[in-house]
Amino acid sequence: MSAIMWCATLVCISALVTCVSTAGILYPRESESREVKSLDGMWNFRLSLPDPLVGFKERWYMKDLSKTGPVLQMPVPSSYNDVMVDKKIRDHVGLVWYDKSFFAPESWRQQGYRVFLRFGSVNYAAQVWVNTHLVLNHEIGHLPFQRDITANLKFGRLNRITVAVDNVLLATTVPQGSLQNISTNTGPKTIQTYTFDFFNYAGIHRSVFLYTTPVVYIDDVDVTTNYTEDSVGLINYKIQYGGSLSSGETLNCSITVLNNENVREKFTVITDDEEGLSGIIKIENAKLWWPYLMHEEPGYMYTLEIRLSTTWNVDDVYRLPVGIRTIKWTNTAFLINNKPAYLRGFGRHEDSDIRGKGMDYALVTRDYDLIKWIGANSYRTSHYPYAEEIMDFADRHGIMIVDECPSVDTDNFSDKLLKKHTTSLAELIKRDKNRPSVIMWSIANEPRSHHKEADSYFKYVVEFVKSKDKTRPVTAALNKWYSIDRAGQHLDIIGFNRYNAWYTLPGHTEIIQSRIEDEAAKWHAKHNKPVFMTEYGADSYAGLHMSPSFVWSEEYQVELMSEHFKAFDTLRTKNFFIGEMIWNFADFKTEQTVTRVGGNKKGVFTRQREPKSSAYHLRKRYWALANQLD
Ligand code: GCB
C-alpha cells in the first residue's frame, strides 16, 4: 500500500459512510430525566507505528490497548501533539489510538434509559468502538458527533471505548492539506504539508460525555426570536423528538420559561399543533439579548424548560438557554435589535501551550475577561468552530460571534470538497443555530476565489447555508483583490483580510490609510453590501522595543494599528463600514517555517495572555468607540 493510501485511512473510510444525519446534536445537560457522565481524564494512547495500519491489522479495538503493547497516558481533552515532549508524537502523521474503560451503572438499565456517547470534537477523523463494536465514524474536526450506544453497553460492568484518530489532511478534507514523500537518512518518509497558518493539532480536543435520556426523548429544538414594539418578546420554537411511540401512545410537549435567575417568567404560549411540538411564546416586557456594552445588562438569557410527556414513558426534560434578539442587515448596515452595531473585535484561535486546542475552562475564563477588559464586542471563530463551552461564554457575556466553518484557503473546488464543505456548515448550523451570540455564518477564510470555478462553488455554498438558516447573514474573510474575486457577489456581508505594511511593503505604514480606505470603498461599490475588515495586523515579539519603530517590535505593531484606526475612522463616516477585527487576539502556534519565530506573533496578548503594548493601544480605541457608539 502506498504511503498516501495508508495515511488517509480514516478519511477514506469515513468517505464511504454517509454520515449526514437528520438527528439533533443538543449539548448534554443534566435534568430530572437525564444524567451526564464525563469521560474526560487520562486515556490510554498509542501511535500506530511502525506500520501505520498495525492497529487495524491487529484489531486493537478488540482488546485493551494496554494489552497490545506499551501505551502512554494521554489527557482528554487535549491535543496529543502538544502535550508530550517527544518530537515523534508532535510530528506524527497518520493514525493514533486511544482507549478508556468506564462503568455503566446497572440502574441505567433498570430505569430503561437510552445512553448516548458524545464527542465534542476529534481532529480530524475518528472511528469509535464500544466493547469491540464499531459505533461511530466522523470526519471533520471541531464539530460534535454522537450515537445511542445502549445496545452495545454492558450494564453493571466495565465497558471500553476505543478511538482511532487520523490527522491526515488531503485535497478533499476541510481544511485541505497534502502529503509529500521525502527521502531521509533513514529511508523514505511521508510528511504533511498545508497552506494554512496554524498548527495541525490533533486528538480528542473536547469533552467526551455519556448521557442518558428516556426512550422517547427531546432530540432537537429550533428557536428563532423576535419582539414587538410594545416590548413583547416572541420565541418561535419547534421540537423534534427521538424514539418511537408504541401503538396507542400519545405525546405532549409543554414549555416553561425561566428568567436569568431561574424564576418562572410570566408568558403565554400559542401552540399551533396539537402535541405542543411547535409554537410561539409571548413574554410581556421581555428583556432583550444585547451585545456587550450596547446595554447595561448584556447577554440576557432566558431558559426554555421543555417537558416531553408520553403515555407510558418517563417524561424527558431539557433546558435550553435562549436569548431574545433580532438581526437585520441592509446594503450598508448590520443591526441588532434594530440598532446598528459596529464590530470591535478579533480574529482568534483555540490555542494555548501544553493543551494545544484542548478545551480548558481556566483559559476560556481568562480570555473572556481579557475580551471585556479591552472593550471588544465580537470575534470571528477563525478558522473553525470553537468549543460549545466557549460559545456558552459568548452567549452569556454578549459577545457577537462570526461563526466560521473549517474551510481555509479553499482550493480545487471539486464536488467531493464541496460536499464536505457543506457538511461542515450543516453540522455547524445544527449545533449553533439557537445561539444569540452567533450573528453571521462565515463560509470560508481566504478562498482562492479568483478561480472561475469559485463562482458556482460559492453560489452553491451560500444557497446551502440559506436553506438551513435565513435569519443570519452569510459572510467570508476574502483576500483576493475585489476586482478578481468571484465569491463576494454571493455573500450578504463582505469581510476582507489585508496586510498592508506587513506582507506588502513592510516598514511602510504610510501606505495603510489610503489603501484601506480605497479597498473598503471598492468592495462596497462593487457589491453594494456592508463591509468589515476581518484581518489586519503585524507580528511583534513581546519585549522587543525599537525606536524608531522596526518590524517585529512592539512599537511597529502599535504604529501599524494607529494607521488602520485612521482609515477605520474615515470609513465609519461613509456609512457602509460595519467593523474591525484585528488579527490576532493572542500569539499562536504554527507549523515550523522561517517566517515565524515560535509561531505567529500577531497577538495583542502573548500566548500566555500577557498584554503587549498593542493591547493597551487597542483598549483605548475600543473603549472610546464603545463610549461613542453604544
Ligand atoms: C492570513 C490568514 C491567517 C494568518 C494570517 C497571518 O491572512 O487568514 O490564518 O495567520 O494571515 O498572520 O499571516
Predicted confidence (pLDDT) per residue in 363-383, tens digit: 999 999 999 999 999 999 999
The fraction of the chain above a pLDDT of 70, given in percent, is: 97
**Spacing, Cα 573 to ligand 1 middle (Å):** 28
Q: Which three cell numbers stand for residue 180?
A: 509529500
Among 176, 194, 196, 197, residue to substitute to test ligand 1 (most atoms within 8 Å of Cβ): 197
503 CA closest ligand 1 atom index? 13
Mean pLDDT, range 557-575, rounded to an integer? 97
pLDDT band at 4 (very low <50, low <70, confident <90, very high): very low
pLDDT bucket at 18, cuts 50 / 70 / 90: very low
Mean pLDDT along residues 508-521: 98
Write a three-state SS string for 467-536. HHCCCCCEEEEECCCCCCCCCHHHCCCEEEECCECCCECCCCHHHHHHHHHHHHHHHHHHHCCCEEEEEC
The alpha carbon of 490 and the centre of ligand 1 are apart by a number of angstroms equal to 23
* Per-residue confidence (pLDDT) for residue 8, from 0 to 100: 57
Mutate-to-test residue for ligand 1 from 446, 449, 535, highest number of ligand atoms within 8 A of CB: 535
pLDDT tens figures, 462-503: 999 999 999 999 999 999 999 999 999 999 999 999 999 999
Nearest Cα neighbor of 405 from 426, 419, 388 is 426
Ligand 1 neighbours, Cβ below 6 Å, are: 197, 383, 445-446, 479, 497, 535, 583, 600, 602
Work out the average pLDDT over 183-194. Answer: 93
Q: How many helices (H) and strands (E) does the chain have?
A: 13, 32
pLDDT reported for residue 7: 47
Distance from C-alpha of 424 to C-alpha of 285, rounded to nearest angstrom: 38
Neighbours of 371 (CB within 10 A): 23
Cα 143 to ligand 1 centroid, rounded to whole Å: 22
Task: Indicate the pLDDT class of residue 20, thresholds 50, 70 and 90.
Answer: very low
**What are phi and psi for residue 400, nearest 5 degrees?**
-80, 135
Cβ neighbours of 330 (radius 10 Å):
13
pLDDT tens-digit profile of 290-317? Answer: 999 999 999 999 999 999 999 998 999 9
* The overall pTM is greater than 0.80: yes
pLDDT at residue number 582: 99
The CB density around residue 149, as the number of other CB atoms within 10 Å, is: 22
Query: And the C-alpha cell for 114?
Result: 437510552
Q: Which residue has the cell 468549543?
A: 387
Q: What is the arithmetic mean of pLDDT over 56-62?
A: 97
Residue nearest to atom 5 of ligand 1 (CA): 197
The predicted pLDDT at position 630 comes to 84
pLDDT of residue 11: 58
Ligand 1, atom 6: closest residue by C-alpha = 197
Catalytic residues: 446
Span from the CA of 602 to the centroid of ligand 1 (angstroms):
9
For residues 182-208, give the mean pLDDT. Answer: 95
Strand partners, 163: 98, 128
Q: Which atom of ligand 1 is least distant from the CA of 602?
A: 12
Pocket test for ligand 1, best of 498, 583, 584, 593 (most atoms within 8 A of CB): 583
Cα 197 to middle of ligand 1, angstroms: 6
